[in-house]
Structure 1
Amino acid sequence: MLPPVRHLLFATSFSLAVLAGTVQAAEAPGITDKEIVIGQTAAQTGPAADLGHDVRLGIEAYFKEVNAKGGVHGRQLRLVSLDDGYDPERAANNAKQLIEKDKVFAMLGNVGTATGLAVLPVMNEAKVPLVGPYSGAESLRGPDSGLIFHVRASYSDEAQAIIKSIANPAGRRLAVLYQNDAFGKSGLADVERELKRLNVALVAKAPVERNSTDVAAAVDAINKANADGVIMMSAYKSSAAFVRELRRRDPQSFTQFWAVSFVGGKALASELGADGRGVAVSQVVPFPWGDVLPVVREHAKALPADAVSFATLEGYIDAKVLVEGLKRAGKNPTRDGLVQALASAGKLDVGGFAVQFSPTDHKGSRYVDLTMIGKGGFIH
């Protein structure tokens, strides 16, 4: 006896729907029945190695927690992290490998501005979203960055906070040490823009090459200008070399130093040692050695005490934001589904630290805090 036509049609439609869902899941790159593969390109060697290393540690620590609880919709999270040595060409090649060979679903916690700009066209062509790049540059927040979701404040936000902290900037002789690349030039422009509002001009602008600690010319230029305050828009190795050399030349100098978060506060303090006392650093995540916020306490428990840093906390928060997006993207996520889930998320509180996204604004945070290197570490 033949089944009723309506039953046959229902059974066929149901089978096709199940099959379509299975095909959709199978076709989404980086998604299998058992795992979700996420990619990262960041320096693990070279002058910016501590930053890439620490961001990766924070991501892996949170992924481990999530996986221990069953993963996301039953899938385990796996991070594929490639070393780019803070070199743009290597970063672009890494992105191609992650997308074409490793078949990552999304990218997370990439480190650097010039490296980020090199990766941007690669990820845009493949329509791969990126969460939490370790850069505050406006060049990664433009009209072609719709697949990027920022979890940190911009360098402009940090420049504002630093300049607001300076008593009577009009009465100071301020200079900028800047890395001669997209990051440093962006930061220099941010500082100049903020000072212009106060009708204050820099007395010197001194470049240092990326991945270099040759700061002799920069020290000469800033000494010649008789600067009494220097805002540093450079990585920790070059910033440390600059502070150390300037203080070596004039041990009695009263020059003040400020650095933005990209310097990697813990790495800078370690690099400078006793020469670091009094150097101020703006931060874009909460104080990682505090115990007030839930996310800070969770992060501290997830890592060995000596591994905790501002960068590990940032990586941990980046991972929490991505995981929340993955949960909202559903049991059979697609890249576009992840983008839509995050873009429509509104305010996301990940444990006392909140980011907020909308379809037209992916700049999730403007949080900036100021810290200072003291005798025994950072003073909050």
Structure 2
Amino acid sequence: MTKTLPLPVGLSRREFARCAAGVAALAVPALHAQSSNRIVLGQSAAFTGAAAQLGIQFHAGAKLFFDQYNAQGGSGRQRVEIAQMDDGYEPDRCAENTRKLLADDVFALFGYIGTPTSVAALPLATKAEVPFIAPFTGAMSLRQPFNRMAFHLRASYNDETELIVRNLHNLGLNRVAVFHQNDAYGKAGLDGMTLALSSRNLKPVATATVERNSVDVAAAVATINAANPQAVVQISAYKSCAAYIRAARKAGYGGSFYNVSFVGTQALADELGKDGAGVVVSQVVPNPYAGSKPISREFRDAIAEGGNKVQPNFSSMEGYLAAKLVAEGLRRAGSRVTRESLISGLESLGEQSLGGYSVSLSGRDHVASSFVELSMLTGDGKIRT
């Protein structure tokens, strides 16, 4: 028997206390224009390269939801499908993919992974008047100024860095350095850190960069270690952050490490193994491993029903929630779904709870959530919040 997924029906913001895999089959899709029985969402994301697990896991969570949604009849007997294309987390490839997806008349763009790639894609979606839904990024540049085509599920990097700095400040850790990717994502995170620190009359004691899709961190380690920070906040992807942590510790650094959610928490834990103990990561979706919220239990039940083919982690949970948000927008779009009616459907959401994960959308606000909490790697591949 197919289990009925509950319709979206509040959540508490928990602050962190003291102390601070899967493989996807990836052929380039054979794309087709919209038809009477299919709604195709186009996704350009990293499915190979140094950020691959982010794309793989997000896509797996979204597909898990849509597979079960389609088994229940989809949207007015229309199946919802994702046409995925690999951009390797490179903006030029993402822009090329996006042009191909738009030329093929995908219904909407969905689940793009990263700031530099989304920055390349959003203007193309806007010009084509195609909705751009749930990008895996918290950059303010994609949220301001307001863009009617863009809908964001997750909290911003400003929300994440504010919580990180608040936690550090409460612990008396005020000498903070920032290790960041040398691109739009890294700048967005650095801007958030600078804003949060300046509100407490502080500034980074040092900053250093790493190139996107690189693990060449030696110069960054030397620069930051020389400043003797109490904590290093990392704004990069899991491979470079793991390389930095190992290199910094080998060079004698004994302080704390904090990361924003884009790092890919489970991927970072897998990269670091026992070296991950004590590393902190901010999260923008509920804990997928604990049963404290109905959405977490629903997610794990869906994985079990789907044959346990999806790894439960924060990235796949975000994909699942993003798909759930799209489905709610389609439900509200009426019997004859168009791009315009999907936009109106999402804007009519108001304040809702997706199983304890609060979201709110309107005609003036397309950022669904500001939920952030902190988590910690335990060193045995697990994460606790």
Matched, 1:378 2:372: no
Tell me by how many angstroms 1:235 deviates.
Answer: 0.8
Correspondence list, 1:219-234, <5 A: 219-234=221-236
Instruction: Give 3-state SS (helix, strand or coil) of 2:40's partner.
Output: strand
Matched, 1:147 2:152: no
- Please state how far the C-alpha of 1:349 moved relative to its aligned partner: 2.1
Residue 170 (structure 1) shift? 6.6
Aligned 8 A contact 2:232 2:257 in 1: yes
| Number of equivalences | 349
1:197 and 1:167 mapped to 2: Cα distance? 11
**How far is the alpha carbon of 1:30 from its aligned partner?**
5.2
Report if the CA contact (8 A) 2:246-2:275 is conserved. yes
Structure ranking higher on relative contact order (CA contacts 8 Å, 6+ apart): 2
Contact 1:47–1:237 (Cα < 8 Å) also in 2: yes
Q: Is the 8 A contact 1:170 1:199 kept in 2?
A: no
Provide structure 2 residue ranges, at least 5 long, that are not aligned to the other structure.
Answer: 1-31
Indicate the SS of the match to 1:161. helix
Question: Is contact 2:269-2:379 (8 Å) kept?
Answer: no
User: CA 1:340/1:227 → structure 2, altered by over 3 Å: closer, same or farther?
Assistant: same
**Residue aligning to 1:83:** 86
The one-letter code matched in structure 2 to 1:378 is: I
Structure number, greater radius of gyration: 1
**1:170–1:198 contact (8 Å) kept in structure 2:** no
Which residue pairs with 2:17 in the alignment? Answer: none
Residues 154, 368 of structure 2: 8 Å contact kept: yes
Aligned-partner SS, 2:83: strand
Could you say which structure has the higher helix fraction?
1
Determine the C-alpha separation between the residues in 1 that align with 2:286 and 2:342. Answer: 26
Q: Contact 1:158–1:260 at 8 Å: present in 2 too? A: yes
CA contact (8 A) 2:258 2:280 kept: yes
Please, which of 27, 37, 56 is the counterpart of residue 40 of structure 2?
37
Partner of 1:347: 351
CA distance in 1, matches of 2:237, 2:160: 15
The answer as to 2:265 corresponding to 1:260 is: no
Superposed CA offset, 1:41-90 (max 9, x none):
10000000000000000110000110111111111111101110000011
Amino acid corresponding to residue 75 of structure 1 in structure 2: Q
Secondary structure class of the residue paired with 1:70: coil
Structure 1's unaligned 5+ residue stretches are 1-28
- Give the equivalent residue in structure 2 for 1:3: none
1:108 to 102, 107, 110: 110
RMSD of Structure 2 on Structure 1 (CA): 1.5
One-letter amino acid matched to 2:251 = R
Letter in 1 for 2:343: V
Shift of 1:33: 2.2
Q: Deviations over 1:156-175 (max 9, x none)?
A: 00011111111457753210
Counterpart of 1:325?
A: 329
CA distance in 2, matches of 1:330, 1:293: 30
Q: Secondary structure at the match of 2:42?
A: strand
Give the whole-Å Cα distance in 2 for the aligned partners of 1:39 and 1:373. 33
Partner SS state of residue 307, structure 1: coil
Deviations 1:318-365 (A, max 9, x none): 000001101111121111111111112212322221210111111110
Question: Displacement, 1:306?
Answer: 6.7
C-alpha contact 1:343 1:358 (8 A) present in aligned 2: yes
Distance of aligned partners of 1:247 and 1:119 in 2 relative to their CA distance in 1, 3 Å threshold: same
In the aligned structure 2, how far is the partner of 1:208 from the partner of 1:104? Answer: 35
- d(CA) in 1 for partners of 2:290 and 2:309? 12
Corresponding residue number in structure 1 for 2:360: 356
Letter of the aligned partner of 2:92 in structure 1? E
In 2, the alpha carbon distance for the partners of 1:213 and 1:171 equals 27
**For residues 183 and 74 of structure 1, what CA distance do their matches in structure 2 show?**
39
User: Quick check: 2:60–2:310 contact (8 Å CA) kept in 1?
Assistant: no
Q: Which amino acid aligns with 1:69?
A: Q
Q: Distance in 1 between matches of 2:171 and 2:378?
A: 23
Contact map agreement 2:238 2:267 (CA 8 A) in 1: yes
Residue identity (%):
44
Could you tell me whether the CA contact under 8 Å between 1:134 and 1:262 is conserved in 2? yes
State the TM-score, normalized to the length of structure 2.
0.88
Q: What is aligned with 1:243?
A: 245
Q: Which residue of 2 aligns with 1:26?
A: none
Letter in 2 for 1:333: V
Sort the Cα spacing of 1:148 and 1:206 in 2 relative to 1 into closer, same or farther, 3 A.
Answer: same
Q: CA deviation at 1:146?
A: 2.1
From 45, 52, 65, the equivalent of 1:62 is: 65
CA contact (8 A) 1:208 1:218 kept: yes
Deviations 1:217-244 (A, max 9, x none): 0000001111121000111111110001
The equivalent of 2:319 in structure 1 is 315
| Separation of aligned partners in 2, 1:209 and 1:184 | 10
2:278 corresponds in structure 1 to 278
Q: Distance in 1 between matches of 2:264 and 2:51?
A: 9
Counterpart Cα distance in 1 of 2:159 and 2:221: 27
